[in-house]
Structure 1
Amino acid sequence: MAEKLIPHFDTVLRTLFAPAVSSRPYPDAGLEEGALSDTEKQHALGLMRVNHVGEVCAQALYQGQALTARDKTNREALQHAADEEVEHLAWTEKRVKELGGRTSLLNPLWYAGSLAIGVGAGLLGDKWNLGFLEETEKQVTAHLEAHLQGLPAQDVKSRAIVAQMRLDEMQHAEMAHDFGAAPLPLPVKEMMKLSSKVMTAISYRI
Structure 2
Amino acid sequence: MSGTASFRRISLLDRVLSEADRAVRVLTGSVSAQRPNPAGRLSAAAEGTSGDASGPALTETERKHAAGLMRVNHVGEVCAQALYRGQALVCDKPETRQVFLDAAAEETDHLAWLDDRLRELRSHSSLLNPFWYAGAFGLGMLAGKAGEAWNLGFMAETERQVERHLDGHLGTLPASDARSRAIVERMAADERQHRVTAEQRGGVELPAPVRAAMRCGSRLMTSTAYYL
Tell me if TM exceeds 0.5.
yes
Tell me, yes or no, if structure 1 residue 121 matches structure 2 residue 143.
Answer: yes
Once the two structures are superposed, residues 28-63 of structure 1 have per-residue CA deviations (whole angstroms, 9 ceiling, x without a partner) of 005425411111110000000000000100111011
* 1:47 counterpart (61, 69, 83): 69
48-57 vs 29-38, which moves further: 29-38
Tell me, yes or no, if structure 1 residue 13 matches structure 2 residue 35.
Answer: no
Q: Letter of the 2:30 partner, please give it.
A: P
Whether the 8 Å contact between 1:34 and 1:156 is mirrored in structure 2 is no
Summarize the alignment of residues 142-153 of structure 1 with structure 2, pairs less than 5 Å apart. Answer: 142-153=164-175
Whether the 8 Å contact between 2:118 and 2:124 is mirrored in structure 1 is yes
Whether the 8 Å contact between 1:130 and 1:180 is mirrored in structure 2 is yes
Matched length: 206
Structure 2 residue matching 1:57: 3-state secondary structure: helix
Match of 1:171 in 2: 193
Tell me, yes or no, if structure 1 residue 181 matches structure 2 residue 203.
Answer: yes
Q: Letter of the 2:120 partner, please give it.
A: E
196-205 vs 2-11, which moves further: 2-11
User: How far 1:84 moved relative to its partner?
Assistant: 0.3
For 1:151 and 1:4, the matched residues in 2 are separated by 39
Tell me, yes or no, if structure 1 residue 25 matches structure 2 residue 36.
Answer: yes
For 1:64 and 1:52, the matched residues in 2 are separated by 18
Higher helix share goes to which structure?
Answer: 1
Structure 2 residue matching 1:152: 3-state secondary structure: coil
Structure with bigger gyration radius: 2
Match of 1:64 in 2: 86
Tell me, yes or no, if structure 1 residue 88 matches structure 2 residue 110.
Answer: yes
TM-score of the superposition, structure 2-length normalised?
0.88
Q: What RMSD, in angstroms, separates the aligned Cα atoms of the two structures?
A: 1.1
TM-score of the superposition, structure 1-length normalised?
0.97
% identity of equivalent residues: 47
Structure 2 residue matching 1:25: 3-state secondary structure: coil
* 2:157 counterpart (135, 139, 144): 135
**Structure 1: runs of 5 or more not aligned:** none
Whether the 8 Å contact between 2:29 and 2:112 is mirrored in structure 1 is no
User: How far 1:13 moved relative to its partner?
Assistant: 1.3
* 1:38 counterpart (60, 63, 76): 60
Structure 1 residue matching 2:174: 3-state secondary structure: coil
Once the two structures are superposed, residues 88-140 of structure 1 have per-residue CA deviations (whole angstroms, 9 ceiling, x without a partner) of 00001110111010110000000011011101111111110100000000100
